[in-house]
Amino acid sequence: MLSQWGYAVPAFAAATVSFLNLILIYAWLTESLTEEKRSQMTEKRPAVTLNALLVAFQRPFTDSILITRFFFGLAFAIFQTIFSLYALVKFNLTARDTGFVLTYFGVLSVIMQGFLVGRLTARFREDLLVTFCVVLMGISLLGWAPAPSLLWLYIIMTPTALSGGLLNTLLSSTLTKVVASQEIGDILGLSAAVESSTRIIAPLLGGVLLQQIGTWAPGIFGTVMMAGISVYVFITIYNHPIVATLKQNKPVPVLD
């Protein structure tokens, strides 16, 4: 909506919100680790380096989570980063109309992450939910590829937002349960780096697919990736022995 007064206005608005966020963090966000907890962490924390990332990829189960995060994140990031161009080419949407579509997508993600994740994880195993999410994302991207109308786009974005919101939360949650307590921050940082790398690749890859092949190409490419990662998840994550340990809330220190 702000773009009607110029494309610089949304950028300045975002900068203002970020600055306010910085102030709130400084004023209200306290350290989560108390001195008592810090004193209990006697083991030396591993350095957060590229080598640490490579080591994490070599550990059982952790490597499966990180590989899943990369390929799922790449397919999801292609959808997110080129959607505005896709909407312009496919449906000739204005910036304002595209904003409404993405707002709908964002509201669905908030509902999933804020209200449904806890209820779902309380009833179903995390490995089952992860498997379900990658399959659902593949189906939704396959539906995104043809998208004959804007109404169809709204419909198909529903499973896309729900699966994306659920899986991002699940993967981070699972990672924190399979490392020692003093390594949680490290593994989450490495996981965030893996996901961030997809946002480097996705705009370039998605832009090439969109311009050189067609508006259907990014969706088909994502579908193929999700088909492959679905098989991988079924083999390496679904019904893994560690899952039983996770249900008992016993951390498994795989990065010690």
Instruction: Taking residues 73-98, report their average pLDDT.
Output: 92
Write the single-letter amino acid at 18. Answer: S
pLDDT tens figures, 105-127: 889 888 888 888 888 888 888 88
Write the single-letter amino acid at 64. Answer: S
Instruction: Taking residues 74-99, report their average pLDDT.
Output: 92
CATH of the domain spanning 48-247: 1.20.1250.20
Query: What is the phi/psi pair of residue 229, to 5°?
Result: -70, -25
What share of the chain has pLDDT > 90, as a percent?
A: 44
Instruction: Taking residues 70-86, report their average pLDDT.
Output: 92
> Dmax of the chain from CA atoms?
60
> Under 8 Å CB-to-CB from 180, ≥6 apart: which residues?
43, 251, 253, 255, 256
pLDDT greater than 70 at residue 246:
no
Residue ranges covered by each domain of the chain? 48-247
pLDDT of residue 255: 43
Distance CA 154, CA 158 (A): 7
Give the mean pLDDT of the chain: 85
Distance CA 255, CA 176 (A): 11
Return the sign of the alpha-carbon dihedral for residues 29, 69, 230, 162: positive
Q: Is 142 helix (H, G, I), strand (E, B) or coil?
A: helix
Instruction: Taking residues 178-191, report their average pLDDT.
Output: 78
**pLDDT band per the 50, 70, 90 thresholds, residue 218:** very high
Distance CA 218, CA 202 (A): 10
pLDDT greater than 90 at residue 210:
yes
pLDDT greater than 80 at residue 12:
yes
* Comparison of pLDDT for 113 and 219, the residue scoring more: 219
Instruction: Taking residues 223-229, report their average pLDDT.
Output: 94
pLDDT of residue 254: 45
pLDDT of residue 185: 77
Q: Which of 207, 206, 90, 213 is nearest to 153 (CA)?
A: 90
User: Which range has the worst mean pLDDT, 27-41, 148-162, 226-240?
Assistant: 27-41
pLDDT of residue 245: 62
Q: Residue for token digits 């957060």?
A: 48
**What distance lies between CA 22 and its chain's CA centroid?**
23
pLDDT of residue 243: 63
